[in-house]
Amino acid sequence: MRVTIFGASGLLGKELMREWSDDTVTGLGSRDADLRDAGRVQQVVQETRPEWVVLAAAYTDVDGCEGNPDLAFAVNRDGAVTVAVAAKQAGARLIFLSSDYVFDGTKIVPYETTDARNPQSVYGRSKAEAEVKLLELAPDCCIARTSWLFGTGGRCFPDTILKLAATRPALDVVNDQRGCPTYAVDLARAIVQLCRANANGIVHVTNAGDCTWFEFAQEIVRMAGLSAVVRPVSSQQMARPAPRPAYSVLSPAHLQDLGMEMPSWRDALRRYLEQRQS
């Protein structure tokens, strides 16, 4: 199978490049192909002749998107459409990485793939509008929604907590936002499986279980053997430019229908810490 990955230099992209074996894989970073350059995107897809295109590239700075909506929509929505058009012209299938931020966070039970989108941030809107356009343009595409991504290939929540906990006696972390941490290695492996299974439609792909950011931070500090105290605070006390969903746990029902199970986030965190140390 021939695969072309947009976003190969990102946190997830690096793991996709490491995990994808037995296939012909071309990885493209933003320097190789800017999603805003339709001509270049079309050129690289035609040159690599993929059977699957994986779109893992995005403008993921949630607060940055709030202050720069034009860039957010140009990359996350319009760029996704550009890639979808190029894939369609080349006869390739598309898998698009989306987000729990397409939801408003008002539920108290896990979000199903069929639940209505109601994003509250610019980032969430850019992803939600991309989903709608892609499903219209390429009904056989696969949209993999994930959340709270972490890994060793770049900046992420556990990395930040470990650095702060090594230099501070106490950390304040929000305790009123609940979601599913997702390890880039496990997400990459799931994406490979989804492509090989010819999956389509919307799939939720996160590690199993859920927690608040406070609970996640507590576990990071405990597993790392650090002495810093983690204190729970409210989102209001830690105000950020972009609103976050209070509850964005994603149901794995469709993933399980495909015969796939994800490890627990605690198991994933243990492996992340081992990978980080090595």
Residues annotated as catalytic are 123
Distant-in-sequence contacts of 74-77, Cβ < 8 A, 24+ apart: 74/36, 75/35, 75/36, 75/126, 76/123, 76/126, 76/127, 76/130, 77/126, 77/127, 77/129, 77/130, 77/133
Sort strands 2-6 and 52-55 into parallel, antiparallel or unpaired. Answer: parallel
On whether the CB atoms of residues 204 and 254 are closer than 8 A, the answer is yes
- Residue among 260, 227, 250, 247 nearest 107 (CA): 247
Q: Go through 15-24 and write b for each residue having 16 or more CB atoms within 10 A of its CB, e for each that does not.
A: bbbebbeeee
- Residue among 192, 268, 199, 205 nearest 21 (CA): 192
Q: What are phi and psi of 165, to 5 degrees?
A: -70, -20
8-state DSSP, 209: S
Tell me which residue has tokens 């698009």. 96
Burial zone of 74 (CB within 10 Å; 0-12 exposed, 13-18 middle, 19+ buried): middle
Return the bridge partners of 3, or none.
25, 52
